[in-house]
Amino acid sequence: NKSVYTFGGGANNNDDARSRDKTIVGGKGANLAEMAGIGLPVPPGFTITTEECVSYLAGGSDFSAELRADVATALTHIESAVGKSFGNNADPLLVSVRSGARVSMPGMMDTVLNLGLNDETVKGLAATSGDERFAWDSYRRFIQMYSDVVLGLDHGAFEEALEIAKEDKGYFSDTEMDAGDWKALVAEYETIVERELGRPFPQDVTEQLWGAIAAVFDSWDSDRAKVYRRLNDIPGDWGTAVNVQAMVFGNMGETSATGVAFTRDPATGERAYFGEWLVNAQGEDVVAGIRTPQYLTKKARETANAKPLSMEEAMPVAYGELAAVFELLEKHYKDMQDIEFTVERGKLWMLQTRSGKRTAKAALKMAVDMVAEGLIDEATAIRRVDPMALDQLLHPTLDPKAPRDILTKGLPASPGAAAGAIVLDADTAERRAERGEAVILVRVETSPEDIHGMHAAKGILTARGGMTSHAAVVARGMGRPCVSGASAVHIDLAARTLRIGNRDLKEGDLITLDGATGDVMAGEVPTIEPELVGDFGTLMTWADKHRRMKVRTNAETPADCQMARQFGAEGIGLCRTEHMFFDEARITAVRQMILADNEAGRREALTKLLPEQRQDFHKIFEVMTGLPVTIRLLDPPLHEFLPHGDAEFEEVAQASGYGVEHLRRRAAELHEFNPMLGHRGCRLGVTYPEIYEMQARAIFEAACDVAGQGEAIVPEIMVPLVGSKRELDILKDLIDRVAAEVFAEKGRTLDYIVGTMIELPRAALMAGEIAESGAFFSFGTNDLTQTTLGVSRDDSARFLAQYVEKGIYQRDPFVSLDIEGVGQLVSLAAERGRATRPDIKLGICGEHGGDPASIAFCETVGLDYVSASPYRVPIARLAAAQAAL
Ligand code: PEP
Ligand code: MG
């Protein structure tokens, strides 16, 4: 197995599958090899494998002699392909050194361009290019980038030197700098390096190369890369590949250019080339948002009413070639591509292609369009859309009729609406968001160090940067609305204030962003509910066709049930009846019941609650007609309902007739040290049967009433926290007895079933026996996780993040099922349950029922349904289809 693979210049390693395997050579390396293989113009280069990165990081940051030899050989491949040699003073080869992980991590890791320049080769470059200015410009870029990325020097000093140089000359822009100016600046830069570092800028090109390779490897473990990986569930042990490639120059004068393009619009999915370019520039200028890039197509320029010519107009020949490449790449990859290119003196070169990041809206549109175009089939379209991304579409958008107090307009970099308090740095954004505040991160430009703040914020506003700046790319990937390049925004970080146009604002003031139009508005603009039609509806129809598992919802209010039905829920998988008791109007009666000394006292309070509960169920049955409704009997620790302050005790005293002192004593008796493992779940039903009696009565009375209106109702009554068959038997007898009483009173009968939750390890183990009494199992994986791991659901947040960071769990086990652990209990219980009762109905109603990875697991276990919170229902529908494909 080779450690280095070459590409381009006629050597494409077609025979070695590893050379195109993303896990080995990273996404960028694989696609460069692939593009070279289909005859596209790719500058020759080579890729060092991710395996080398892993062993470098594990082995104390050292390179093996073998790797050094392989790299030297691969370098000769580039040299002979371009006819230049590395470090040659007369005609030097320059290379770029870039990272490339298995999946793209935009802007998270390091890149060095123009490597191979030193005080001598710069003269050779000037001579062979015939362009003195270009050579010195390239050299100063190299020193600055290398110093920043490899030598760890702050780039501020270099920027300052450039600003002073321009000021001295009376220049406004970099383009006014001539060869002599750049040369002088290079001398200045070299002085800065020597001063800061205590030694001169490295002149040995081989030392430069290994320095850059080490920096790229090291950047895998940079803080920002770690944050990005955590947010995107990327394992820390993948490592990054390194791509070393012959430089091509977009900064060789007016016939040269560089750009970034998407084969379709990544924000809307529209079938139109989309991108930005800059004449006489290098790639970093576009991506970093330092110069304002220009439009790629004439149409886009005209739509935006912009002056600088589009590439289509300014460089028709190169643009024509580029457009042909777009078509070819889409056909080849059968997906929207995100491309980096350079034009060197009129010749087009491809530097990168990858499947482009896109918004959920764009992902849907592209998937549906590509099926219509015959590019992909329905199954591929279903697989293409990340279920979690649908979340972006399910949330409200700005009401078009609401008045907008527009402060300014920037670029519509990532769609969606967001309102929140202005915050001016990422740490503040994170801190305030943790307190539950909605915040908008406002920055001059976002850098990868801001990623945690971007994630914490509801939206992002920047003063600088284009549509393809990594801020925009990252925001789109995260689904955060983003308005970029709003140049009317002026921030005074020291004073924590900002000026937008002629309005003065300060940190904490409310603003609203419309990422689809670029509008920035004062205050909070009202929103409207999304419409789930069009491409969304089409894809969902396909998903429904391909999935096996049903999707239900966890809901207990008629409004939530209604919404879930609109989102496609096929029933209720969990109606948590205790949520109905938290209602202010009822809580006193609930407290009266709990604090009662005896059964008679409890019954008195329950009598007050019965009509309320009946009404609750009546409404839910009406909303869910024709669909199954699983109602869980009271579950929570009694402890949770205990009164707190004087006022609450006073209220209960009034309602119950007991004195406050008496009630306080009773509350102290009921206090629990470990309530989650205390007096809760079916233990309530076993010890205070009158509670479950009241609930069963409410259910059956409501069901009979609604059935009387001619609706089909099949209540599924669910007993929580069962650990033994005997518990279920006692409670099932009670439920059956109440049913018989109500049916006799109402003069009608109806079908119902009684089942149980499996949320204790003992229940999973005893599932074979429990299935004798229970007609269905619903896996309560929240409690099953808590009890199997011995980790409290309420306290885990304090340490679980570190557990995930250290790889003890791949993901938070309360978010994504611990398949290898808790999953075993689920499989085992399903098996044992089915062995007893082959037609037993199996579902899941823990939070995991809305998590795609957990849903995939449920498919393998053969569950009949998953149940998720209303907003997760569409996500679950799509994930269930992906799991079934
Ligand atoms: C569970 O434990 O997974 C469950 C659904 O019940 P609750 O979250 O209400 O305890
Ligand atoms: Mg539970």
Can you give the pLDDT at residue 69? Answer: 96
Cα dihedral 138, 142, 143, 145 sign: positive
Written as six digits, the tokens of 36 are 């070279």
Q: What percent of the chain has pLDDT over 70?
A: 98
Burial class (CB in 10 A: 0-12, 13-18, 19+), 879: buried
Is residue 787 within 6 Å of ligand 1 at its C-beta?
Answer: no
Is residue 691 within 6 Å of ligand 1 at its C-beta?
Answer: no
Residue 249 has pLDDT above 90, yes or no: yes
The residue assigned the tokens 């139109």 is: 272
Q: What percent of the chain has pLDDT over 90?
A: 73
CA of 846 to the centre of ligand 1 (A): 5
- Assign 801 a pLDDT band (cuts: 50, 70, 90): confident
Quick: pLDDT tens for 334-354. 999 999 999 999 999 999 999
Q: How far is CA 302 from CA 261, 309, 586, in A?
A: 18, 10, 62
Among all residues, which ones are annotated catalytic?
Answer: 470, 845
Burial class (CB in 10 A: 0-12, 13-18, 19+), 830: buried
CA of 857 to the centre of ligand 2 (A): 20
- The answer to whether 512 and 439 are in contact (CB under 8 A) is no
Residue 14 has pLDDT above 60, yes or no: no
- Assign 677 a pLDDT band (cuts: 50, 70, 90): very high
Quick: pLDDT tens for 460-507. 999 887 776 656 777 876 778 999 888 899 999 999 999 998 999 999
Quick: pLDDT tens for 690-732. 999 999 999 999 999 999 998 888 899 999 999 999 999 999 9
- The answer to whether 444 and 425 are in contact (CB under 8 A) is no
- Is residue 65 helix, strand or coil? helix
Dist CA 804 CA 789 (whole Å): 14
Q: By mean pLDDT, which of 53-57, 470-474, 509-513, 547-551 is the weakest?
A: 470-474
Cα torsion through 753, 758, 763, 766, rounded to 10: 60
- Is residue 299 helix, strand or coil? helix
- Report the pLDDT averaged over residues 30-50: 94
First to last CA, the chain: 33
Average pLDDT over the chain reads 92
Dist CA 716 CA 754 (whole Å): 6
Can you give the pLDDT at residue 370? Answer: 98
Instruction: Return the axis-axis angle of helices 121-129 and 132-149, rounded to nearest 10°.
Output: 140
Dist CA 71 CA 56 (whole Å): 15
Dist CA 38 CA 14 (whole Å): 11
Residue 290 has pLDDT above 70, yes or no: no
Residue 512 has pLDDT above 60, yes or no: yes
- Is residue 645 helix, strand or coil? coil
Written as six digits, the tokens of 823 are 């999953």
Can you give the pLDDT at residue 149? Answer: 92
Quick: pLDDT tens for 146-188. 999 999 998 889 989 999 999 999 998 888 899 999 999 999 9
Residue 345, marked binder: no
- Report the pLDDT averaged over residues 106-124: 90
Dist CA 662 CA 674 (whole Å): 24
Burial class (CB in 10 A: 0-12, 13-18, 19+), 295: buried
- Report the pLDDT averaged over residues 322-329: 96
Q: Pick the closest to residue 519 from 535, 502, 492, 500 (CA basis).
A: 500
Q: How far is CA 209 from CA 52, 150, 213, 240, 284, in A?
A: 16, 10, 6, 17, 19
Query: What's the number of CA atoms in the CB half-sphere (13 Å) around residue 758?
Result: 33
Beta bridge partners of 719: 756
CA of 788 to the centre of ligand 2 (A): 13
Dist CA 815 CA 806 (whole Å): 17
Residue 782, marked binder: yes
Residue 630 has pLDDT above 70, yes or no: yes
- Report the pLDDT averaged over residues 132-144: 95
- Assign 423 a pLDDT band (cuts: 50, 70, 90): very high
Nearest Cα residue to atom 4 of ligand 1: 780
Quick: pLDDT tens for 187-229. 999 999 999 999 999 999 999 999 999 999 999 998 888 888 8
How far, rounded to the nearest angstrom, does the alpha carbon of residue 183 sit from its chain's CA centroid?
45
- The answer to whether 551 and 877 are in contact (CB under 8 A) is yes
Q: Pick the closest to residue 858 from 842, 838, 834 (CA basis).
A: 842
pTM given for the model = 0.80
- AA identity, residue 765: L
Question: Which H or E run includes 824?
Answer: helix 822-836
Q: With a cut of 0.95, is the ipTM above it?
A: yes
Top mutation candidate among 783, 786, 814 for ligand 1, by most atoms within 8 Å of CB:
783
Written as six digits, the tokens of 388 are 């979690």
Q: What does the DSSP assignment read for 734-803?
A: HHHHHHHHHHHHHT-----EEEEEE-SHHHHHTHHHHTTT-SEEEE-HHHHHHHHHT--TTTTHHHHHHH
Residue 637 has pLDDT above 90, yes or no: no
Written as six digits, the tokens of 828 are 């085992």
Residue 783, marked binder: yes
The beta-strand segments (E) located in 174-328 are: 240-246, 257-262, 274-279, 294-295
Ordered by where they begin, the domains of the chain are 51-246 (3.30.1490.20), 257-358 (3.30.470.20), 396-528 (3.50.30.10), 547-884 (3.20.20.60)
- Assign 559 a pLDDT band (cuts: 50, 70, 90): confident
Can you give the pLDDT at residue 11? Answer: 60
- Assign 234 a pLDDT band (cuts: 50, 70, 90): confident
Closest ligand 1 atom to residue 778 Cα is 5
- Assign 766 a pLDDT band (cuts: 50, 70, 90): very high
Nearest Cα residue to atom 8 of ligand 1: 782
CA of 412 to the centre of ligand 2 (A): 43
Q: Pick the closest to residue 570 from 881, 870, 883, 848 (CA basis).
A: 870
Can you give the pLDDT at residue 13? Answer: 57
Residue 128, marked binder: no
Is residue 793 within 6 Å of ligand 1 at its C-beta?
Answer: no
Number of Cβ within a 10 Å radius of residue 221: 15
Can you give the pLDDT at residue 287? Answer: 63
Closest ligand 1 atom to residue 783 Cα is 2
Closest ligand 1 atom to residue 578 Cα is 9
The residue assigned the tokens 């948590």 is: 576
Please indicate whether residue 613 or residue 110 has the higher confidence score (pLDDT).
613
